[in-house]
Amino acid sequence: MNKVALITGVAGQDGSYLSEHLIERGYEVHGIIRRQSTAENQESRLEHLDGRVNTHYGDLLDVSSLTRIILETKPTHIFNLGAMSHVRVSFDVPQFTIETNGLGVLSMLELYRQHCPEAKFYQASSSEMFGNSVDEDGFQRETTPLTPVSPYGCSKVLGYNLVRHYRNAYNLHACNGILFNHESPRRGSNFVTNKVVKTAVQIKLGLVDKLELGNMDSYRDWGHSKDYTRGMIDIINHDIADDFVLSTGETHSVRDLVKVVFSHLDLNWEDYVVQNPRYMRPEELKYLKGDCTKAKETFGWEPEYTFESMLHEMVDHWMSIFTNPVRV
């Protein structure tokens, strides 16, 4: 049987790495992209795949476009990665966040149920759903209560529960990947990891003189998108549709992140980093550390990158961009 994957959010960090993994495994890959006025974050992350990803214009809030694409592509595997994904910005656009990340999931599930119920469905859920809930041993896992502290987290809980409902009510192979923070050189520059890395490289090269950040004492479990998108395929293809945490099992503060990046560039971070209240969230998520035992024991998934190797790769990437003027 021909394996046909349809990816929403294909032009993002995860969509591009997932496309690579799927192509390597012999899938025919289709992706949905939103038409925007700027080229960044559209097909630029897919250019190296030389047209092997078939892109279609659509939007999670435009059911007619989603219907057309599903009928045209006839997917066997649906990966719903599309979302309003910036937690801080979700406080500024809460309605749009809920509509995209909640009702958008509902639209995809309903079209899946109506037009290709024999397919498999993966929903990109998030560790932000946990909020400040932590189990007694200091970890968050599949059974940890969901107590989100942002519109983004709330929207992801809605999508997560809709997937579980459709799985149980209609006997669909629909699953959730509860992914903790995952980064890469392809991460958007408005996310804290790539913001830190990109600005630190610019400081090293004398292009800027400071880095402004919000809360530096929030802790996150950071992994690499390449590892986590590999795990998405494991989750969707598991014999029994279920929900799985993907994480490293380690937690680091934003301050730790800054120290690793600046140290790799032989810089003293304290000479350049200042805190700006503008980047603080109205309600902070203080601590995340995931337990991915279930995924490891079920299908053998575990991360290959370390916190340090991921950040070093990102630093080297941005250094090559700023020192190579012909690079696109």
CATH 3.90.25.10 residue spans of the chain: 192-220+251-289+305-323
Q: Which amino acid is at 281?
A: R
Instruction: Write down the CATH number for the domain with range 192-220+251-289+305-323.
Output: 3.90.25.10
Catalytic residue among 20, 28, 128, 183: 128
Alpha helix stretches (DSSP H) within the chain: 13-24, 63-73, 87-90, 94-98, 104-115, 151-170, 192-204, 225-236, 254-264, 293-299, 307-323
More confident position, 282 or 224? 224
Catalytic residue among 19, 126, 184, 247: 126
- Strand (E) positions, 190-287? 211-213, 219-220, 223-224, 243-246, 252-253, 273-275
Tens of pLDDT, residue by residue over 70-108, are: 999 999 999 999 999 889 899 999 999 999 999 999 999
CATH 3.40.50.720 residue spans of the chain: 4-183+224-246
Active site residue 152: yes
Position 22 pLDDT exceeds 60: yes
Instruction: Classify 4-183+224-246 by CATH class.
Output: alpha beta
Tens of pLDDT, residue by residue over 32-55, are: 998 763 444 445 777 777 678 999
- With bands split at pLDDT 50, 70 and 90, how would you rate the model's confidence at 182? very high
Catalytic residue among 17, 112, 122, 152: 152
Global pTM reads 0.93
Distance in angstroms between the alpha carbons of the first and the last residue of the chain: 38
Instruction: Count CB-CB contacts under 10 A for residue 276.
Output: 11
> In this prediction, what percent of the chain has a pLDDT beyond 70?
96
Active site residue 128: yes
Position 327 pLDDT exceeds 90: no
Rounded (to 5) percent helix, strand, coil in the chain = 45, 15, 40
What are the Cα distances from residue 46, in Å, to 3, 13, 136, 278?
20, 10, 42, 33
Pairing of strands 173-179, 120-126: parallel
Tens of pLDDT, residue by residue over 186-226, are: 998 888 999 999 999 999 999 999 999 989 999 999 999 99
